[in-house]
Each structure stands twice: as C-alpha cells, then as structure tokens.
Structure 1
Amino acid sequence: MADQADNNAAAPTVGVALLGMGTVGTEVLRILQDDAQDFTARTGGPIEVRGIAVSDLSKPRPGVPAELLTDDAFGLVNREDIDLVIEVIGGIDYPRTVVLSALRAGKSVVTANKALVAAHAGELSEAADSSGADLFFEAAVAAAIPVVGPLRRSLAGDRVNQVMGIVNGTTNFILDAMYKRGASYDEMLAEATALGYAEADPSADVDGYDAASKAAILANLAFHSPVGSDDVHVEGIRSINVADIEAAKAAGCTIKLLAICERLVDDQGQESVSARVYPALIPLDHPLSSVSESFNAIFVVAEYAGRLMFYGNGAGGAPTASAVLGDVVAAARNIVHGGRAPGMSTYANLPVGDFGSVRTRYHVDMVVDDRPGVLAEVASTFSVQGVSLKTVRQEEAGDAGARLVVITHHAAESDLESTVDNLKNLDAVKAVNSVIRMEGN
C-alpha cells in the first residue's frame, strides 16, 4: 500500500475544467470532492477541478469556491493547467465551439450532451483523432446504463444487426401509466410534469426528438456509419389514446416509444442502415415490455453474442453523473498512463436506407360498414399492395358500423402506407382510427 501511495503521489495531477453547474454538473463536482481519494486510487493520480464555467456568476453556489468560477469557457478550456474538460452545458452551437476548441488543443472531453454528439459526432471525432485527445460520451445515451462502452469496445469484434431501446424516461412513464391505470395521455402528461419527469415544454420528449438524438448515436456506434439526427425517422406519442392501449392489451402487447437502429439488406445484398423512433406495440413476452415507469432499457442483437439487454436509470442527476464520472476515470487514466480510448469509427460508411423499405408488422384499427362483403373488400385492398394479413378481429361499433382490427405479417412501410391511403378511399371504410407498428417479433 505504501508503494501505491508513493506512485500516486508521484503521478501527475489531472486538471479538470467543468462546464456547467446544473443538476448534473453540481452532482459531478460533489462526488469528485467527496470521493477524491477513491478517484486518485482508481485513476493512478489525483483529479483536481481547476475551473468551473457558468453562465451567471451572480447566482449563489454554496460550497463552490468563488475563485473556481468563470463565465469564460473558452479561456478556461485553453488554460495550460487543464487536461480534461467535462461538458454538461446542454444545447448544440455554443458547446460545439467550446468542445472543438478543447479537442483541437489536445484536451480530452467527457460530455453528456446527446444533441451535440448526435449532430456533430463526425466533426468531434475528427478533432479528437487529429490531436490524440479522447472523446467520451457514455452519459449522452441513457445516463447510468452502460451501452456506449460495450458498443465501442466489448462488441467491437462482433456484428451488430439491431439495437432497439426505450431511451426516454418521460414517455415511458406516460405510456406505462396509461397501460396500468387506463388514464389518458393528457392526464399522465400532467402528472409527469408535476413529478418533474417532463419539462414545462415537453416537446423534445413526447415528440420523439430526445430519443432520435440517442438513436443517431447508437446507429453510429453499432454500424460504424455516419448517422445524424436528421437521418432518423421520428414520431412521438401525442396521438396514443386509451383505445390504442386497450387494443394493445387485446393483442397481448403493450405500447412503448422505441428507438430502433437496424441493419438492412436489400434483394441485391446491398446493406444500409435504418434509424427510427416511434410508438409501437411490443409483445408482453419481450424483455422490453416489462420496462416500467421512467426506466430505460436497450436491447441489442449481435451476430455472435446473440441477444443482450442493458437496463437501468436513464435520466436524473445522480445516474447521469455516474456515467460522466466513469468516463472521467477512463479519460484520466489515459492522461496519467499515456493511453487512448478507441475512437468513433465510421469505416463502414453505410448509407441510410429509405424509410419506406423498412419492414415490420402493423396493427390497423378501422370502422367499416356492417354488411356482407366488406371484409373481403378490405382484405383485397391489403392484398393488392402485397400486404398479408395475420389476424382479423371484428367487433360491434354501435350505429357507426363494425370495428375491424387487422394485424399484418411483415410488410414494407411504403406498401402499408399505400394500403391505408386506399382504405380511406373505400366507401365501406368510415374511418381508419389508428395505424401502429408492431416490433419485437
């Protein structure tokens, strides 16, 4: 133990710049200070926060030495005594310029900023590669759930074919409560807001954009190909209603907002990648169906490792800080011992496939005339587009006619879309209430 203490004492101190003092930044600073000796032992040398960049210097920050605070992030990251930058500001444009400045100066960066990484992964990786710095972003996808590391390292020798996950706690809380309580979307959104799961403006969560940023990052890592946020097909959960939830129960499913990244192969054997976010029915016997409340989970299908699932807290100050600090230790070890983490390789450079070519199953709920021949007419409309029916269930819909619930076999998105357009033009079809995709089977 004495030798270890001597080695740590002789090891260089890793100077840290912390950018941002919100919930996550505050938690990161607290843990680094409270567990300083442990971090020294884990890293091989001391870790010292030497500056903290904030936007408002006048805001009281109890327990934070005033001499550490600055509103000049650029000046801080370019100081000679800074080796490692922790970015927890949020946003895209401003942190991009600061992070690029740090990386180009050879400073390693740990970020929890999913929007930044999703939008500028290639540029950031190139800057890190050019200077020999590290870029870590485990916390950018699912907070405390370790999935970035396994995709970058543990599965580097495998071939990942699909990544499918619940990566937004707000929407999972809402959909889970709707399923268990029979409550409406509006009721559960209000409760999520009151509990602090949803922001005052919940658009990023409920419209799927938060999950889309994470899907882009996962697709980059899984398929070694450049996928940006704009390449992700996005649909949110605002349209999901009580009737949809009841239909899911009748089909032996639940509804989850899924982020899906998939390797596609066409008839000529050409590969492409798909990244998409939408609410989908998922069977109750699938592992993702049991992910409740605000928890997250990511399901990976690899050629050799098979089916893997990562589960845990996907948001919150402490879980996110845990992921950030794991990256801090890895980056600090490399600084102390002269190593470097694997970069974000996009050597495969696969194109992003047309969303219309994505194949899945569909749950189509419609109201039709209650008379002979209608079922045959509806079935023929599906058949014309090459969409095969797996099950058809008919229920009374009162004076409105009959309710027809159709579950298809796997079909291309473009074929199903054309089918629905044709159904809406049939005199016998009074309304197409909903079309929900079915995944996990």
Structure 2
Amino acid sequence: MMRTRPLKVALLGCGVVGSEVARIMTTHADDLAARIGAPVELAGVAVRRPGKVREGIDPALVTTDATALVKRGDIDVVVEVIGGIEPARALITTAFEHGASVVSANKALLAQDGAALHATAEKHGKDLYYEAAVAGAIPLIRPLRESLAGDKVNRVLGIVNGTTNFILDKMDSTGAGYQEALDEATALGYAEADPTADVEGFDAAAKAAILAGIAFHTRVRLDDVYREGMTEVTAADFASAKEMGCTIKLLAICERAADGGSVTARVHPAMIPLTHPLASVRGAYNAVFVESDASGQLMFYGPGAGGSPTASAVLGDLVAVCRNRLNGATGPGESAYAALPVSGMGEVVTRYHISLDVADKPGVLAQVATVFAEHGVSIDTVRQQGKDGEASLVVVTHRASDAALVGTVEALRKLDTVRGVASIMRVEGE
C-alpha cells in the first residue's frame, strides 16, 4: 500500500549531476513512488549562486544556506553532490545529527574520512550510501558489499577514470602524443581545464581506497594508496606495448596478499595483454574486473562519469535509502572487521617493462643482466637496437617485488654504460 506522506529530500549542489538528479526526481516521480512505496518530494536545493536559472526547479526551493536546510528536522534524505572535503563533511555530519540519511557521490571525502562518516551514521541509526562515488552508473559498490558478501574477494582491477582512458585510448589508436590527446579530451569536454586530478591519478586513487575498503573489509584511506600519474606515457611506450601484444591503461589495483595477511591499493599506468577484457575498454568508459574465490572473474562495464550516468547511481541509492526509511531499517554500513594491514608498494609483486638508453658497445648487455641478477629480478626477454654508438635496451622481467625493481633501477643508473632509464612500466593482467 502506498504511503501518502512524501519522503522529503534535500539536494546539496545543483551542477551537472545535481540538476540531473532533480530532473529525474520530477520526470520519474510516479515510477519512483511505486518502487519506493511512497512519494519523494524535493524539499530544498542548496546552491552557491542563487540567481542562476535552473530549469524545472521551483525557485522557492533554492537556498544558499545549506546548513539550515539539513538542520530542518523534516528532511528524510540528504543528497550531497557538491564534492570536496568541506563544507561537505560538516553538512553530512549535521544531516545525520538531525535525523536524515545521506546519499553521496563524494569520492574524495569518503576516501579520506569514510570511517568517521560511517561511525556517525551508525551512531544516529542512519544510512550512508555512495554508489555514484566510484564508477558513475556502473553498479559496483552494492555488488561488492551485498551480492559478494558471502564470497572472498582477492583482487579488484579496474579503469575508473574516463578522462585518462580516453587519452590513452586515443594515443593507442591514432599514435597521438600525450598533449595532443589531452587537448582533444579537453575540447570534447572529457577533461577539465585543470586535468591534474585525473591525469595524475588522484581521482582514481580515491576510488581505489573506497573499493579496497569494501572488498577486503579493511579500512583503507587515500594516504594508503600508491599513486602514479600517466603524464610520462609516450608513443614509444605504446609501440613497445604493441610489440608485446599489449596496450596501456591507467589502472586502479586492489589486492589481497597471497597469504591473505595484508592488502595493497595502487594506481599507475600499466601494460595489459590485448586478450584481457580491460584492454578493449575504449573512449571514456570505465570497467572493473573482480576476482573472488567462489564467483571467479566478474567484470562491470559502463559509463563512469557524466551527469545522467552519475545521477542514475544517485537515484538508485535514493530508492534504497527511502525503502529502508519506510521500513525503519538501515542498509549495510561499514564492514572493517578484517582490519588487515595495508602494505606499501615495495611489497607488490608483478612484472616490469624497462626501457634503457645505453652505449652501443660489447658487454653492455652482460653488465645490465648482472645488475638484475644481483637484485633477484629474473629477466624474461631482452630486445636491443643500436646505431651510431647509441642503443636502446628493453627488458621485460618475470614477477618480482617492487622493492627489488627499485633497487635494480637505482643500480642501473650508476652504470657508466647506461645513459638513462627511458621508462618503467608494470605489466598486469596476466
């Protein structure tokens, strides 16, 4: 039976995502009411610029006083899509304290202070949902914390930033350089005027922290995630990748150690075989590959950003939270019972592709091979090209720890015959 009193929703932020949330709430009002069991009513919209015309939104609902809005006491759910740390953190906390549950798309805040927010939500018996914080419209958070709750997740490997995937895909398919591909991404609206958060991996690192925490039932903060951007990836790297039957992606990788005693989370460019499902993810799309004991390998794929896709995820959470509200219940909260230690990058074990500029003379290869052997890094293949006293040497290793690789590279740089280390790329997905 439909409850007649509507559930009241406060919307914090009315930009690209917020305006889509408001639009869908209005145009799909009957369907949402049927799915929830009660109507939902947009009770207020907090913005920074009140004079801006917002199509489809009653101007009487618009306010610049977000704090007063979340303190009203009659608000059932607060939807936060303003982003950043403050004032979002204070507003979400205030919402819990005044009786509202929260739906958020704020990856940066959740990666930094997710544990504290979950604790506040639990203290006040309220929900904190954030499907939209990681991969846009792709259902990922809920499958990890609900559908796979009875399974043991060992690895999460994914493309979680559409801007970087567009740039790398363009470099791969057209031979464009990094700057040329970035310029096109900016012109098409995929990249911000300041793309630092995307291309330096900050955005993906926040998402990796959230994914690792949920997958491994362990608190993982943004500071725990190793991060390496993609601005140094070159056309030469792609040429080398193609010779190996690979392409290059900026990956978020969350892993449980082989002995199950610790976890790692990292973001960096990596070569992956063309046969891997993630290799075929093109343009600005996202995809996440999950490996678990019982389910085996699962892949989640779709648009990872944009107003409509992100709003879709927000509305999905809104429906779930409203249902819980009607039933006097709450959904899954933080699960950090495992409390596994988070290991540093040095303990990560993978393969490596190292490109060296060396002198083209006898004995160089032997010297380089000796350095690898001294640091316990086994060489899989070597490719050498030389001309006019200059040469390039490409070494692909077997699996080794990152700490061993770092030691190897430091020693290589000290050799008189090594002019420089042109690039180091990890090889994943094998």
Greater CA drift, 142-151 or 350-359:
350-359
**Ranges of 4+ aligned residues in structure 1 off by more than 6 Å:** none
Supply the distance in 2 between the matched residues of 1:97 and 1:233 (Cα, whole angstroms): 28
Question: 2:50 corresponds to which letter in structure 1?
Answer: L
1:338 corresponds to: 328
Question: 2:8 corresponds to which letter in structure 1?
Answer: G
1:101 corresponds to: 94
| 1:300-345: CA deviation from partner (whole Å, max 9, x where unpaired) | 0101111110000000000000000000000111111222211121
Question: 1:334 corresponds to which letter in structure 2?
Answer: N
1:81 corresponds to: 74
1:245 corresponds to: 238
Q: How many residues align?
A: 430
Supply the distance in 1 between the matched residues of 2:28 and 2:297 (Cα, whole angstroms): 36
State the SS of the aligned residue for 1:440. coil
2:400 corresponds to: 411
Greater CA drift, 66-75 or 356-365:
66-75
8 Å Cα contact 1:12-1:336 kept in structure 2: no
1:187 corresponds to: 180
8 Å Cα contact 1:106-1:128 kept in structure 2: no
After TM superposition, the score normalised by the length of structure 2 is 0.98
Alignment partner of 2:353 out of 340, 363, 366: 363
8 Å Cα contact 1:134-1:340 kept in structure 2: yes
Supply the distance in 2 between the matched residues of 1:137 and 1:12 (Cα, whole angstroms): 26
Supply the distance in 2 between the matched residues of 1:355 and 1:403 (Cα, whole angstroms): 28
Provide structure 1 residue ranges, at least 5 long, that are not aligned to the other structure: 1-6
The reply to whether residue 293 of structure 1 matches residue 286 of structure 2 is: no
8 Å Cα contact 2:354-2:421 kept in structure 1: yes
Deviation, structure 1 residue 270: 6.6
Supply the distance in 2 between the matched residues of 1:289 and 1:42 (Cα, whole angstroms): 37
Alignment partner of 1:402 out of 391, 395, 415: 391
Deviation, structure 1 residue 235: 0.5
Greater CA drift, 372-381 or 165-174:
372-381
1:13 corresponds to: 6
State the SS of the aligned residue for 2:388. helix
Supply the distance in 2 between the matched residues of 1:152 and 1:64 (Cα, whole angstroms): 34
- What is the aligned-residue RMSD (CA, Å)? 1.1
Greater CA drift, 22-31 or 335-344:
335-344
2:299 corresponds to: 309
Deviation, structure 1 residue 62: 3.0
Q: What is the correspondence of 1:37-186 to structure 2 with a 5 Å cutoff?
A: 37-186=30-179
1:373 corresponds to: 363
1:434 corresponds to: 423
Supply the distance in 1 between the matched residues of 2:98 and 2:54 (Cα, whole angstroms): 30
Deviation, structure 1 residue 404: 1.1
Deviation, structure 1 residue 61: 2.0
Supply the distance in 2 between the matched residues of 1:276 and 1:424 (Cα, whole angstroms): 25
Deviation, structure 1 residue 12: 3.6
8 Å Cα contact 1:395-1:402 kept in structure 2: yes
Question: 1:303 corresponds to which letter in structure 2?
Answer: D
2:222 corresponds to: 229
Supply the distance in 2 between the matched residues of 1:104 and 1:298 (Cα, whole angstroms): 35
Supply the distance in 2 between the matched residues of 1:384 and 1:106 (Cα, whole angstroms): 62
Provide structure 2 residue ranges, at least 5 long, that are not aligned to the other structure: none
Question: 2:394 corresponds to which letter in structure 1?
Answer: V
Supply the distance in 2 between the matched residues of 1:101 and 1:135 (Cα, whole angstroms): 13
After TM superposition, the score normalised by the length of structure 1 is 0.96
